[in-house]
Structure 1
């Protein structure tokens, strides 16, 4: 059975959400339509995204971007958590105080993940 265009699009978007991918390119690249994607699994990995006009007679915008991974890694130190010293009761209590239904109401998968991740990292501190 062949999938409809809508079903294919839905499956594609589910795949992006299921794999926690972020869409970096925000501007349309062809006559107001978003035809090109830059997907990453880590914030800050891709930067300096620019549309560079069309090449020749094409009606598509060229996209230029930089992969920042090597530069970020050189500047940052890898931190690891010591789980033996963690207070999991406090951690569970801090996260339990959040009304998740209200915090995530009306949010999509990407926004919900970012909210959850932010609260998780805040509780970790």
Structure 2
């Protein structure tokens, strides 16, 4: 199957010894883009987000998205948010750039990779603002409020054995009895 053409450019910046490569993407999504072209773009974003470090910027034309609440009014915008969430991308621009809307975005898959974000005003007669930022080669450690559990070292055989020792019939009966007693009170 031929891939739908998208208005995107992807570049790999080779890292020095000991540092990984960085994928940089630039996208323009027309506001009237068809769903099948959106899906092709989301496949590209998904493939790029598997890299160790990704910076994606562009005009995605979803004016109805509220990034603080992670909500959107239209189906296409909700699908874009799903793509961002599914690929664990962080949106680093914090204030609306065009008429109160966040159309121009800088997304990354690694906290601390993008820094010193500055709005530099519009260029010529464009209604877009220029965004200046740095890609930080030595990624700073940022304390995240998110907790991610790593189950790769878990002893699942022990876990299965411990679960097998629980007398589930008794526990289910106790739970039902507790529920019935709380309904009487």
Flag the structure with higher strand content: 2
Stretches of structure 2 lacking an aligned partner (at least 5 in a row): 1-33, 36-72, 151-185
Indicate the RMSD between aligned Cα atoms, in angstroms.
2.7
Deviating above 4 A after TM superposition, structure 1's stretches of 4 or more consecutive aligned residues are none
1:49 positional shift: 0.4
TM-score normalized by the length of structure 1: 0.54
* 8 Å Cα contact 1:51/1:64 also seen in 2: yes
Flag the structure with higher helix content: 1
Matched residue SS, 2:88: coil
Q: Which residue of 1 aligns with 2:132?
A: 64
Cα offsets for 1:26-70 (capped at 9, x unmatched) = 1111122111111100100000101000111222111111100x2
Matched, 1:116 2:147: yes
Q: Structure 1 CA distance, aligned partners of 2:115 and 2:99?
A: 23
TM-score normalized by the length of structure 2: 0.37
Superposed, 1:23-34 pairs within 5 Å as: 23-34=91-102
**Count of residue pairs the alignment pairs up:** 78
Q: Structure 1 CA distance, aligned partners of 2:85 and 2:122?
A: 31
Stretches of structure 1 lacking an aligned partner (at least 5 in a row): 77-112
Structure whose alpha-carbon radius of gyration is higher: 2
